Amino acid sequence: MKQFRCGDVVPGCQWVARNEDEQQLFEEIHTHARDAHGMDEVPPEVLDAIQGVITEVQV
């Protein structure tokens, strides 16, 4: 299971997403970035930061 903690990229944000499918995880992240942080487009440097903090977790 892959996990992304938004607070690892946006300090103070408590949102966490988990998904087995990386594509679905990125869709959830994009929706959160738009709805919570007003990012209609996620810049490449932010995508790089996101990819750098996605971890594998046991459920």
pLDDT digits (tens, 9 = 90+) for 8-59: 999 999 999 999 999 999 999 999 999 999 999 999 999 999 999 999 999 8
User: pLDDT value at position 5?
Assistant: 98
CA 54 vs CA 5, 26: distances in Å? 8, 10
State the residue range of the domain holding 35.
2-56
User: pLDDT value at position 59?
Assistant: 80
Quickly state the pLDDT bin for 6 (edges 50, 70, 90).
very high
Q: How many domains does the chain have?
A: 1
CA angle 14, 17, 53 (to 5 degrees): 80
Q: What is the pTM of this model?
A: 0.91
Q: How far apart are the first and last CA of the chain?
A: 7
10 contacts: CB under 8 Å, gap ≥ 6: 37
